[in-house]
Amino acid sequence: MKFHPGRTIRALLLPLAAGLALTALPVQAAHAASTLTNGGFESGGAGTATPAGWSEYGDTGASYTESGGHSGSYRLSHYASSAYKVETYQYLSGLANGSYELTAWVRSSGGQKAAYLALKNCGGTEQRTDLPISSSGWIRIVTPVKVTDNHCTISVNSDANPGNWINVDDLTFTSGSTGTSIHGADVSSLAKSEAKGGVYRSSAGATGDALSILKSYGMNYARLKVWVDPADGFNDKAQVLAVAKRVKAQGMKLLVDFHYSDSWADPGRQDKPAAWVGHPYSQLKTDVYHHTYDVLHALKAQGTTADMVQVGNEINGGMLWSEGSTSNWSRLAGLLDSGYDAVKAVDPSTVVALHLAKGGDRAGTEWWFDNAVAGGVRFDAIGLSYYGYWHGPLSDFQATLDDAAARYGKPVFVAETAYPFRLDSDDSLTNQIDTTGELVPGYPATVAGQTKWMNDVASIVEAVPNGRGLGVFSWEATWTAVDGNGWDPADAASGNGWENQALFGYDDRALSSMTWFSHR
C-alpha cells in the first residue's frame, strides 16, 4: 500500500425466480445435448431474437444477438429501455457426472439488481458468478459445478433497470474445477487499535474479537506487516508474534509482509531502517537475512510458522534505497535472494512471494519480473496490489494477472485491494478516496458497492488459467478511526484516512461486505 498522509422490450411477462426449476421451462429436444451449442453466438448473425441452441424466459425481447463479439463477429446482449428480467439458457443432458466449469467473456454497464451466470439443476447447489462491471474491456469469468444427475442448465440472467446492458460471448462448458484458497485480510492495524481503545462489534452490535468476527464470515488468511524499529513500537517483531498467536488460534494461515524499514515502504519510498543506515551493501544482505530469519524463527518457535512471506512490500523500484533500487538489478537480486534463503532456512514449506503495486500494469510487471528472472531471483508466488481507483480498469488487471501467471509459471494473488463503503471521514484527516469522481465507474461508495468490488476482484483471480489464482487480501480491514492509531507511527495525532475502506463501519459493527470472504 502506498499511503499518502493528506489527500492524495417488453413489459415483464413473469417474475424470474432465482432457482427456477427445469420443469417450468419448455425444453426443446435440440437442447438435450451433452455439449454446449453455439457458445459463441455466431449462428444466425446479428439480430437473432433467440440464438440457435438457446431458449429464453421472461422479457424475451431484451435478449438477442448483435455485432461486436469477443472473438467472433457476434455476441449475446441483454438490454431494454425499460426495466426487464430475462434469462437466456441452455439445457444439457447425457452428461457424465463429475466436475465442470463454465467459462465466459463478459461486459456489463452495471446498475442491475442482478446480472450473473448460473449453473443450476445440476443435482446440487446452484452456482453463480456475478458479472463484473466493465463497459469497454472484456473480462473472463468462470463458474464451477458438480454434476450429479447427468444434466445441467447453463443460464445467463439479468434483472435490470432501464438502460442497463450486458454482453456475453465465447461460453465453454468443460471438465474442470475452480476456486480460490486465500480469502484474507491485512490486519496490521489491529493491535494498536485495541491498545488505543478500538472496539469491534458483530453486525448485531455485540462486542467481540475482530479476528473471530472476520473468521465467522469466512476469512482464512491474515497478513501482518513487519517494521524493524518503528517509532510507536507496533508492527515490530514482538507485536507480530503476539498477533500471530491469535491468528493461528482462529485456524487461519499467516502471511508475513517484510517492509525492511522502520515505517511505510512502498513505490514512493523504500527507506532503510535507521540501524542499517551506513552499512555497506554486503552488510545489508546480511541484515536482510538476519532480520528475516530472526522474526520467522521466533514465529516457528512459538508454534505459529508463517505460511507465506513477502520479501519486500510494493517493491516496484526495489528496496533499501539506494543500494537495492532497480537501477542496479544485480544488487537488488542479491538482497531478494538473502530474504529467500532466510525464509527457507526456517521452513522450506513457507511460500516466498514478491510483491509489486502494478495490478493493472502488464508491461511494467513484465519488465520487473523479466529482470528478476534474468538475475536468478528465486520466488514461489507473485503478489500484486490492485486498487481500481489508482491502477486502471478490471480488464487491465485481468490481463496483468493472467500474463504473470503464464509468463513465469507461478501462482498469483492480490496482496492488497480495498474499496470505500462511504466517502465522509470518521476523523479529522481527509480520506484517501473521498469524492465520487475518484470511484471506479459502476461501483458506488456503499456497502453494496464495496461488497461487489471485493467479489468481482476475487472472481477475476478465480478465473486465472490452470488454477494459478490463489486469492485476495483486503487491505487493512480493521483500520477504523481510533485516536492515536493514525498513519504516522511517529505522530500520535495523525489521522487514519482509510477508515471508509475498512470492513467495520463507523459504529464499529461488521459490515455485510464481509460476505466476500465466502467467495468460492
Give dist(CA 11, CA 60) in Å, integer.
10
160: left (phi over 0), alpha (psi -120 to 50) or beta: beta
Give dist(CA 427, CA 159) in Å, integer.
39
Sheet holding 151-160, edge to edge: 55-58, 84-93, 151-160, 114-120, 127-130
> Which of helix, strand or coil describes residue 428?
coil
Q: Which of 260, 338, 248, 265 is nearest to 302 (CA)?
A: 248
Catalytic residue among 416, 462, 476, 499: 416
> Which of helix, strand or coil describes residue 294?
helix
Give dist(CA 520, CA 517) in Å, integer.
9
**First and final CA of the chain: distance in angstroms?**
25
- 271 in Cβ contact with 263 (< 8 Å): yes
Give dist(CA 419, CA 501) in Å, integer.
5
Strand spans (E) along 14-148: 55-58, 63-67, 74-79, 84-93, 98-108, 114-120, 127-130, 134-147
The answer to whether residue 56 is catalytic is no
Sheet holding 74-79, edge to edge: 63-67, 74-79, 165-175, 98-108, 134-147
Catalytic residue among 56, 314, 323, 462: 314
DSSP state of 75: E
Q: Which of 475, 436, 469 is nearest to 101 (CA)?
A: 469
Give dist(CA 368, CA 383) in Å, integer.
13
Q: Indicate the residue type of 24.
A: A
The answer to whether residue 66 is catalytic is no
Length of the chain: 520
Active site residues: 314, 416
